[in-house]
Amino acid sequence: MRKYVIMGPQGSGKGTQAKRLRDDYDLVHISVGDIFRWNVQSHTKLGARIRRYVDAGELVPDDVVGEIVLDRLNQHDWNFGFVLDGFPRSERQALFFLETFDIDAVIEIQLPAATATERVLGRRLCGRCGLDYNLIYHRPARPEVCDVCGGALETRSDDSPQAIAARLHAYHAQAAPILELFRRKELVVTVDGGCAPDEVYRQICQKLGLVR
């Protein structure tokens, strides 16, 4: 059983690395941001409660987030473990989490703010099939059109420069005390997110002692 939390600023490649761990070690990837976006897009009751926070790049209140994460983990569909992405994001969430779950490690992906901003502004998502693009690393053959299904590419509603600056600022302000808390418990492994994805993954596996 492997229970990991992955942390890093927006654009650090958290999602990419979490998916690799999921595929190679049969872990369940739980992205709180994805759960929230799905609810907003699907016009659920929860979506209505959280839409304004998500659109503004502000944190959703702790009680709502705690409830959603617990519900998700209580499904117990994670026989081999999970990678939690996007939680905890406040000290309160971290304390609650440490009381509720034994985790094995916190993966911290470091990335300078300028690189993070550049990467996030280049993100595109196919509105039809959901495939991810990045105008820096993974360009579509035709501008703003999905290579696979021909759907129109969209930016996330919260990927405006103002919202990104707010999210990066919030990330660093909030991550510092959380990482400190986890560091005291000797749970944190740190990798350099400025490297290519394969290299970042190699560092993660090495530091977690994962044999491939």
Binding site for ligand AMP (CB under 6 A): 10, 32-33, 36, 53-54, 57-60, 65, 86-87, 89, 93, 158, 167
89 is catalytic: yes
| CB 128 to ligand AMP: min, Å | 20
Whole-number Å distance between alpha carbons of 60 and 52 = 9
Q: Confirm whether 14 is a catalytic residue.
A: yes
Residue nearer to ligand AMP on the CB measure, 60 or 83: 60
The 3-state DSSP composition of the chain as helix, strand, coil percent (nearest 5) reads 50, 20, 35
Q: Name the catalytic one among 22, 72, 123, 124.
A: 123
For residue 71, give the nearest of 103, 26, 32 by alpha carbon. Answer: 32
**Of 142 and 172, which has the nearer Cβ to ligand AMP?**
172
Active site residue 167: yes
Asked about 139 being catalytic, the answer comes back as: no
Residue 155 neighbours by CB under 8 Å, 6+ apart: 123, 124, 125
Nearest to 1 by CA among 98, 103, 106: 103
Place of tokens 């070690």: 25
Q: Which C-beta is closer to ligand AMP: that of 162 or that of 206?
A: 162
Q: Is 123 a catalytic residue?
A: yes
Instruction: Tell me phi and psi for residue 81, to 5 degrees.
Output: 125, -175
Q: Is the dihedral of CA 162, 37, 199, 3 positive or negative?
A: positive
For 80, other C-beta atoms within 10 Å of its C-beta total 12
Task: Out of 2, 49, 51, 156, pick the active-site residue.
Answer: 156
Question: Closest approach of Cβ 101 to ligand AMP, in Å?
Answer: 14
CB of 4 to ligand AMP, least distance (A): 15
| Least gap, CB of 141 to ligand AMP (angstroms) | 27
Tell me which residue has its CB nearest to ligand AMP.
Answer: 33
Nearest CB to ligand AMP, comparing residues 20 and 167: 167
Q: Which two tokens stand for residue 101?
A: 């779950």
Residues recognised as catalytic = 14, 89, 123, 156, 167
